[in-house]
Amino acid sequence: MNVRAKKVSTLTTILAVLIIGTFYGVFYFFPVGNLLKYGTEFTTIKEVFSSSSTWKVIWFTTWQALLSTFISLLIGIWIANVFTKFQFRGKQFLKALSIIPFVMPTVVVATAFISVNEFLRLDGTMFTLQGSTFGIIIAHVFFNTAIVVRTVGSIWPLIDPESEMAARTLGSSTSSTFLRVTLPQLKASIFASGSLAFLFTFSSFGVILLLGGLEKATLETEIWRYATQRTDFKTAAVLGIVQLTIIIVMLALNSRSRRQGAAVLKSGTSSTQPTCANTHFLKFRLGTCVVFIAGFLGLPFALLVERSLSTNNGYSFLYYKQIFLESSERFSVFGTRQAILNSLMWATFAMIIATILGLLAAILMTHKSPKLSRSSDVVLLMPLGTSGVLLGFGIIVSLDTSILDVRSEWWIVPVAQAILGVGFVSRIVSTAIRNQNPELKQVAQTLGAAPAKVWWHVDMPIISRSLIAGSIFAFAIAIGEFGATAFLARPQRPTIPTTVFNLLGRPGAATFGQAMALSVILALITATAVSVLDRTGSVVGNEI
Amino acid sequence: MKSNGLKVADLSVHIDEALILSDISFEIEPGKTLAILGPSGCGKSTLLKSISGLIPTSSGDILWNSRSLLSSPVHKRGIGLMFQNHALFPHKTVQENIRFGLEMKKIPKSQADKAVMKLLDLVGLRGYASRSVQTLSGGESQRVALARALAPEPKLIMLDEPFNALDRSLRRRLIEEIYGILMSLGITAIHVTHDSEEASQIADSVLLMNNGNLIDHGKFHDVIKSPKNAISAELLGLQTLWKPILERRNGLYGINSPWGFKELPEPIASSYKVLVRPEKIKVGLNGVEAVVLNNVYVSGQKLVKCLVSDSFSVHVKTDEEFNPGQRIKLQLNLSDIEILVEHTV
Amino acid sequence: MPAEEIMKVQAKLVSVFIAVMLLPLLVVACSNSDDNNNVAKRDCLTAEDSVTITTTSEDSKAVSGESIDLVVYDAFLAPPGAFEKFTEETGIAVNILTTADTGTMVSQAVLTSGDPIGDVMFGVDNTFLCRALLNNVFSPYRPSTWDQLEESLKLDPFARVTPVDFGDICLNYWIDDTRNQPTSIKDLTDTEYAGSFVTQNPETSAPGMGFLLASIAVFGEDGWEQYWKDLRNNDIEIRSGWTEAYYEDFYSKERNIVTSYATSPIAEYIFSDPPLSKPPTGVVGDSCFRSIEFVGILRGTDSPVASAMLIEFLTSTYFQELIPETNFVLPANKKAELPETFKKFLKTDLEPVMIAPELIELKRNEWTESWTQIVLR
């Protein structure tokens, strides 16, 4: 590379650093820092750490997160395997189904799980979903499997099947091949999705609160309790610092191991094409997985649909009609149609911000300099593991100067959602960048493509698939309204989750039914958006 | 003195402080083909990549028509490169792949498409335009890769062992086709291979490399006739080479062969190999005793492999039929025994 | 050597990156923290020295065209068209800023005391009142409707907050149930009521807190703990929020007694599908906890006059009459007429209990801690 090209590349990197740095600095570090400073008093620190319940909370938070992540990985890899290897009818549908849990408001999922509990008569048994650690873990797996399936599933097709065939001819059994040949090639994406899942389960809030039964407390719920119910910011801040420290440590470890395990998949040579299941054994493999997906992911959803359709007069679409037609006066306060529009708009906005920033971030994360890539690896994902309460409160406390009083602007919500989404996009995209075949770029150069053109014509089509995968998540996060946004001051524009919340916040069979119907609609919107994006992903790869 | 074509002068390349290429110099006239022969790991690919600019050089110069290319970035050099693994853009169609270089030259689409169609005809893939490259066979994708490299009309095209993955007959066919095309277009080419026969098929001149060094260089015919050293001979696939036993007789250093003692030429080096070409050995009534081992066919030519004095084997070119185990007598003039130094660098 | 140059540039990049990110942090750490949280040890309902806001008719005309922010908690619903009417009448636009639950809203107000996120805050209740007042969150303003408001609701004589609505947290039960129907809070510890009751965690739910406070009011500070021990032995269910308790356990008839609101039966009646002839649930009258909601002008607002006019509007009979059917609470303004359904079905023989806000603020943490130990551990 000659001097000019090097200068351009350095300039791009500097630009990326400045943009990302400013965005994160203003909307994350500054607000969170402002709150965490309450936790720097020595007496409070001493108090918090000398209490045994603090240690119990830390311990519980950590091990339930690890266990949830581990199981999510197992199940996610299994499902990703089936999606990669097999072509079958209804595959699109199942793929979309696997991401819906991620979007659903926690309250709705909790309701669905209770229904499952009743339906399967688990209450009172060891496997009860309500008020047990088992329930928490299952719910976490329910939410987070999507991350694993999507991340690992976008990389798996790029593995050269011949490497597996070679292993088989050398005497390795199917399972041994999987462990020794396939899995190492998936390491990077497994780490990527695993760390994301850990972040979510570690700082999980709604699930613990609603399903965990009240004896289960995690760092996040304790922070919430002290900050919002006791107005004790000092204790909350100390706990917040503890939470953040553990997250940073985990991210740093994870960053190191990702680097060591990066295998270069030659995208461009033969890739795994999905085939039909021909033999009995293959059909069985496919079948068990489909049944599992349908059952595990689909059953709660099915029960939700059932609840949305069951009126006092038997089954009908009554509640759906009510949502869309808004004929009855008393329901006009809920503004359901507007809510759907608003949700879509805000989520799209957040998704766009997260995608652009995520791409820039991915560039930083795959930079040649190990210091830059490692530090951005850790820093960019910190928001996902930070307490939503602290971030939301932090924004409210900090962004209050006359120039910067954005606390109540409508766009602070998608911006906060975007910050959470950037981590996803950058993780998934950087994995794809690392896995690229370098020869493609070299060939393009010899064919007369300047570095910018190389990037556009060669890198982008290949990265775009992973970019789409990341954007989908950013969209899903935004439309399900996660985390920090619950603690911001939001201008009252109804969104689907807030409307569901309002509907569930008052008694009445009709409002409950409408809430269920609206949740089903939310799921369908997400599924549709996801399928559209999925299709665009493969089309983008084929365009000129 | 102005010279046309490619000139590489004292090229050295370091990668991470290790010396990969050392003082490589050669020239190619416009429209001619140079074959680069060498074992795996000798630096052939590095040489190609540094000529194209993908790898920076440490010292030396690369010139085209007497103008140095070193200051141009890769995408401005106009040098085409074909990789072993074809490196076709996976999500583009055949047409889009081939058209790529033309797009970079900002040639309007209609014109570019016409050129693509012509190239597809040229490489024998008419009708493949909208096929996805993932569905192509090895030979087909190789041809697409060629068409893609040719499209922007490069001044020089370099092929890095492009036929490795193909079977022999397909390989031959493709080589003939491709070099027919290159010749008809008058494009200068460098062809890297480890197969001497392939090299002989297409090259006007050959460059032999080992361990990052240039070992021999010249017209194929010349290099074959007088290989500089034993490594050249091996690379060129010459037979039969064997390691001799050195002796000293009457104050002279020499090798002891079944046909007599031959003096070593000056200056004396540390190790030697002896080359005896199959066509120089005659089967006759007198000569050294040998046992027929088997018949070997090289490019359709029959050679008879014989075991001589229980110690080594030679190949003999003859039309006569022999059975394995048969005892025959081999004649050879001492002057036809070529003594080659093992290394000259 | 080019390699060295690259290293230097990279090192520079890394330091720029980290610096840009952490600079705000350093600024924050080094700055003197404005101690908003200085909780003075004084009675929260004693006199405040701050200036009361007053408005004149000229002021009122001057603020036409302004826009103010009304901070509410998440379950708040604006009556349709109400704020548009306000804008019509005064020319002032109202933005509604939704936060999370009441506790969160109050905590946010405390954190930003003096530099608030909005202009008026709606929904601080009597259990959080002292916390807000002690942290100097509001500016006093006595609206012209002050004398129309119910006396017992005016917990702050200094009008830093104005009562806007009230409701009672009571035990609800299914009327047509074959199981026993309670008439008193004391029934719940009887064995016939084992397994019938579901209530909420007072730390995470307003009705939950309400019922706990009711039990403390009824059984006294020395007796409530025993009551709860007995309850626990009688197989009660605790959920974290009203939604779960009401829709999952109560609706499914798994439990037929739930802590909810006195107006819940009316809501059941209104939203019933198909329509019923009367509410399907009933209310236990001897242990309702009175919950009062207040509205106040946030100290430090840029628009005190416009905010004052909003307070006027929120306590006007027009708005007060819209409250019941939207939010299912009762208007603070005595002159506001209740809707027909409320007049028909609202129980008037309830004797709600109250606990002084100062006592709640003082003992709240202690009580919830003790409750947690008794009921959950």
pLDDT at A330 over 60: no
pLDDT value, residue C39: 41
Q: Please list every residue in chain A whose beta carbon sits closer than 8 Å to the beta carbon of residue C273.
A: 311-312, 318, 508-510, 513
Using alpha carbons only, what angle is made at residue A354 by residues A478 and A521, rounded to the nearest 5 degrees? 25
Does B87 reach chain A within 8 Å, measured CB to CB? yes
C14 band by pLDDT with thresholds 50, 70 and 90: low
C48 band by pLDDT with thresholds 50, 70 and 90: low
pLDDT value, residue A540: 40
| Helix, strand, or coil (residue A1) | coil
CA atoms of B107 and C122, how far apart (whole Å) = 67
The average pLDDT across A462-480 equals: 83
Q: Please list every residue in chain B whose beta carbon sits closer than 8 Å to the beta carbon of residue A273.
A: 134
CA atoms of B319 and A384, how far apart (whole Å) = 81
Q: Which residue of A has its CA nearest to B82?
A: A443
pLDDT at C220 over 90: yes
| Nearest CB to C75; choose among A490, A492, A502 | A502
Q: How far is A523 from chain C (nearest CA, A)?
A: 21
CA atoms of C188 and C257, how far apart (whole Å) = 9
pLDDT at C1 over 60: no
| Helix, strand, or coil (residue A462) | helix
Q: How far is A233 from chain C (nearest CA, A)?
A: 9
pLDDT value, residue C33: 42
Give the pLDDT confidence of A388-433 residue by residue, as tens digits. Answer: 888 888 888 888 765 556 777 788 888 988 888 888 888 888 888 8
| Nearest CB to B152; choose among A268, A445, A447 | A447
How many CB pairs below 8 A link A and C? 211
How many CB pairs below 8 A link A and B? 95
| Nearest CB to B87; choose among A1, A443, A451 | A443
pLDDT at A211 over 90: no
Q: How far is C117 from chain A (nearest CA, A)?
A: 7
Tokens of B139: 């030979």
A13 to C13: CB separation less than 8 angstroms, yes or no = yes
Does C10 reach chain A within 8 Å, measured CB to CB? yes
pLDDT at C216 over 90: yes
Reading phi first (left if > 0) and then psi (alpha if -120 to 50, else beta), residue C32 is in: beta
pLDDT at A71 over 60: yes
Q: Please list every residue in chain C whose beta carbon sits closer than 8 Å to the beta carbon of residue A13.
A: 13
Contact call for residues A430 and A368 (beta carbons, < 8 A): no
The average pLDDT across C47-64 equals: 71
Using alpha carbons only, what angle is made at residue A244 by residues A239 and A249, rounded to the nearest 5 degrees? 130
pLDDT value, residue C140: 92
| Nearest CB to B91; choose among A442, A445, A541 | A541
A-facing residues of C in 197-226 (CB < 8 A) are: 201, 203-204
Q: Which residue of A has its CA nearest to B152?
A: A447
CA atoms of B29 and B26, how far apart (whole Å) = 10
pLDDT at A244 over 70: yes
C273 to A230: CB separation less than 8 angstroms, yes or no = no
Which residue of A506, A512, A514 to mutate against C (max C Cβ within 10 Å)?
A506
| Nearest CB to C247; choose among A17, A118, A504 | A504
Most confident of A133-137, A180-184, B9-13, B284-288: B9-13
| Nearest CB to B88; choose among A5, A268, A273 | A268
A449 to B104: CB separation less than 8 angstroms, yes or no = yes
A107 to C243: CB separation less than 8 angstroms, yes or no = yes
Q: Please list every residue in chain A whose beta carbon sits closer than 8 Å to the beta carbon of residue C376.
A: 214-215
Q: What mean pLDDT is reported for chain C?
A: 86
Tokens of A497: 């989750």
- Centroid of chain to Cα C134: 17
C271 to A330: CB separation less than 8 angstroms, yes or no = yes
pLDDT value, residue A4: 64
Q: How far is A464 from chain B (nearest CA, A)?
A: 11
B100 to A449: CB separation less than 8 angstroms, yes or no = yes
pLDDT value, residue C6: 53
Give the pLDDT confidence of A76-99 residue by residue, as tens digits. Answer: 999 998 888 888 888 888 887 787
Q: What mean pLDDT is reported for chain A?
A: 81
Residues 6+ positions from C58 with CB-CB distance below 8 Å: none
Give the pLDDT confidence of B164-194 residue by residue, as tens digits. Answer: 777 777 778 878 888 888 888 889 999 998 8
pLDDT at C46 over 60: yes
Q: How far is C224 from chain A (nearest CA, A)?
A: 21
A445 to B87: CB separation less than 8 angstroms, yes or no = no
Most confident of A115-124, B179-188, C6-15: B179-188
Q: Please list every residue in chain C whose beta carbon sits closer than 8 Å to the beta carbon of residue A491.
A: 95-98
Predicted model pTM: 0.77
3-state secondary structure chain C: CHHHHHHHHHHHHHHHHHHHHHHHHHHHHHCCCCCCCCCCCCCCCCCCCCCCCCCCHHHHHHCCCCEEEEEECCCCCCCCCHHHHHHHHHCCEEEEEECCCHHHHHHHHHHCCCCCCCCEEEEEECCCHHHHHHCCCEECCCCCCHHHECHHHCCCCCCCCEEEEEEEEEEEEECCCCCCCCCCHHHHHCHHHCCCEEEECCCCCHHHHHHHHHHHHHHHHHHHHHHHHHHHHCCCEEECCHHHHHHHHHCCCCCCEEEEECCHHHHHHHCCCCCCCCCCEEEEEEEEEEEEEEEEEECCCCCHHHHHHHHHHHCCHHHHHHHHHHHCCEECECCCCCCHHHHHHCCCCCCCECCCHHHHHHHHHHHHHHHHHHHCC
Q: Which residue of C has its CA nearest to A495?
A: C98
The average pLDDT across B3-23 equals: 88
Which residue of B49, B57, B82, B89 to mutate against A (max A Cβ within 10 Å)?
B89
Q: Please list every residue in chain A whose beta carbon sits closer than 8 Å to the beta carbon of residue B56.
A: 1
The average pLDDT across C168-182 equals: 87
A268 to B101: CB separation less than 8 angstroms, yes or no = no
| Nearest CB to C24; choose among A6, A29, A506 | A29
pLDDT value, residue A544: 23
B60 band by pLDDT with thresholds 50, 70 and 90: very high
Give the pLDDT confidence of A138-190 residue by residue, as tens digits. Answer: 989 998 998 898 888 877 887 777 777 777 777 777 777 788 778 887 888 88
Give the pLDDT confidence of B244-260 residue by residue, as tens digits. Answer: 888 888 888 888 888 88
CB environment A313-332: b (16+ within 10 A), e (fewer): eeeeebbbebbeebeeeebe
| Nearest CB to B87; choose among A271, A440, A541 | A440
Give the pLDDT confidence of C230-288 residue by residue, as tens digits. Answer: 999 999 989 888 888 898 889 888 899 999 999 999 999 988 877 888 899 999 998 99
| Position with higher pLDDT, A462 vs B101 | B101
Longest dimension (CA), chain B: 81
A491 to C95: CB separation less than 8 angstroms, yes or no = yes
pLDDT value, residue A84: 86
Does B83 reach chain A within 8 Å, measured CB to CB? yes
The average pLDDT across A38-51 equals: 87
pLDDT at C36 over 50: no
Which residue of C15, C20, C328 to mutate against A (max A Cβ within 10 Å)?
C20
Give the pLDDT confidence of A254-305 residue by residue, as tens digits. Answer: 887 776 655 555 544 556 667 776 778 888 888 888 888 888 888 888 888 8
Which residue of C5, C16, C17, C137 to mutate against A (max A Cβ within 10 Å)?
C17
